[in-house]
Structure 1
Amino acid sequence: MAIIRAHRGITPKIHPDAFIAENAVIIGDVEIGAGSSIWYGCVLRGDGNWIRIGKNTNIQDGTIVHVNHDPKGDYRETGGGMPCYIGDDVTVGHLALLHACTIESSAFIGMRSVVMDLAVVEGGAMVAAGALVTPRKRVAKGELWGGNPAKRLRELKPEDMEVFAHIGQSYVDLGAAYRAEQS
């Protein structure tokens, strides 16, 4: 059974239609939307700020999602610090690290990539496998970024967007199948 743990009086809120793998760890101020899936070995620590994951988003095996606290005090009182927002219909590949960043709806994050504090990956953008998106960078809609540090490599093609949609839907379906087997 997954570890779903309250922290400082805040318990994660997980939609009943989401799939959470048995060895995922979800702590604190985390909300996960309908049809989303959190796969094996993922850690989502909303212990210093909030994490929000929209609907039909897949966070694949071994991914870590974390936040930055507000050094002035409790973020719930100050409104400060750096949360992590992941929108709807996002694919996050295996072993990614998302730290206090924003991943807009319909973005694609490749395997073993890192997206750092206050970086934004716009909807319809892609971060390539193994890329390092440094703090405060913005990956624009329709662009593919890769490398270490990541930089714009090319414009995305319509066939890239079709692949994103196919992968996303396959994970929605796979998560539903796994959830049904858990019952």
Structure 2
Amino acid sequence: MDGVSIIDFNGKTPRIDPSAFIAPGCRIIGDVEIGPEASIWYNCVLRGDVNFIRVGARSNVQDGTVIHCDSGNDGKGGHPTIIGEDCLIGHMAMVHGTLLKDRGFIGLGAITMDGTVIESGGMLAAGGMLTPGKTIAANEMWGGRPARLMRTLTDEQVAGNLMGVAHYRQLAKAHAVAVRAG
């Protein structure tokens, strides 16, 4: 993986499925696991140094996103970051100590903080900031700073988000070919 930093930390080595696409410029550190057909786009940082990070099958983490976790210095054990299957995380998001369940969506430039949960089909809109301990229920869309419930997504809107996941899976295959040829 040319141009990618895979760094062992405190005896933990990142584990990346061979079918995942990891773009040049990424930094993947410590206790990080990336599942089948997932894609981590250009210049992302996934730092599993104080807790763990998991990225599920077919999920995509778009360009410039930072994913970290909470160490639990508050005596409560901390919060890993767990990204389920078929999730979409937009460009320049910051995801910290969050549980993003299967088919969840985090928009461009959005921020999630320690102990947040986005249920299946839930969405944090572009630029939103989900403050510590908040939960977005299934098929809800939250937005703003701090984020609040905006509306319930229709079945068509949830399906549209899943089409975005499928699009990124195909796009990752094309980029993998271009990177190898580069």
TM normalised by structure 2 equals 0.94
Q: Which moved more, 1:99-108 or 1:154-163?
A: 154-163
Shift in Å, 1:70: 3.3
Separation in structure 2 between the aligned mates of residue 120 and residue 72 of structure 1, nearest angstrom: 19
Shift in Å, 1:174: 1.1
> Which runs of structure 1 show a deviation greater than 4 angstroms over 4 or more consecutive aligned residues?
none
Separation in structure 1 between the aligned mates of residue 78 and residue 64 of structure 2, nearest angstrom: 25
CA deviation map 1:11-57 (0-9, x unaligned):
10000000001101100000000010000111000000000010000
Separation in structure 1 between the aligned mates of residue 103 and residue 97 of structure 2, nearest angstrom: 18
Separation in structure 2 between the aligned mates of residue 176 and residue 10 of structure 1, nearest angstrom: 28
Separation in structure 2 between the aligned mates of residue 68 and residue 154 of structure 1, nearest angstrom: 29
* Aligned partner letter, 2:137: A
Counterpart residue number, 1:44: 46
Counterpart residue number, 1:57: 59
Separation in structure 2 between the aligned mates of residue 43 and residue 109 of structure 1, nearest angstrom: 16
* Structure 2: tracts of 5 or more residues without a match: none
Separation in structure 2 between the aligned mates of residue 166 and residue 105 of structure 1, nearest angstrom: 14
Separation in structure 2 between the aligned mates of residue 173 and residue 24 of structure 1, nearest angstrom: 20
Shift in Å, 1:176: 1.7
Counterpart residue number, 1:125: 122
Indicate which of 121, 139, 143 corresponds to 1:142: 139
Separation in structure 1 between the aligned mates of residue 46 and residue 136 of structure 2, nearest angstrom: 23
Counterpart residue number, 1:29: 31
* Aligned partner letter, 1:23: G
Shift in Å, 1:72: 8.3
Separation in structure 2 between the aligned mates of residue 55 and residue 105 of structure 1, nearest angstrom: 9
Counterpart residue number, 2:102: 105
Question: Is residue 12 of structure 2 the alignment partner of residue 15 of structure 1?
Answer: no
Shift in Å, 1:157: 1.1
Q: Which moved more, 1:169-178 or 1:143-152?
A: 169-178
CA RMSD of superposed structures (Å): 1.5
Q: 1:154 to 1:9 in 2, by over 3 A?
A: same
- Asked if structure 2 preserves the Cα contact closer than 8 Å seen for 1:17 and 1:176, the reply is no
CA deviation map 1:113-143 (0-9, x unaligned):
0010000000111110000000000000011
Q: What is the number of residues matched between the two proteins? A: 178
TM normalised by structure 1 equals 0.93
Shift in Å, 1:71: 3.0
Q: How does 1:67-106 map to 2 (within 5 A)?
A: 67-71=69-73, 80-106=77-103
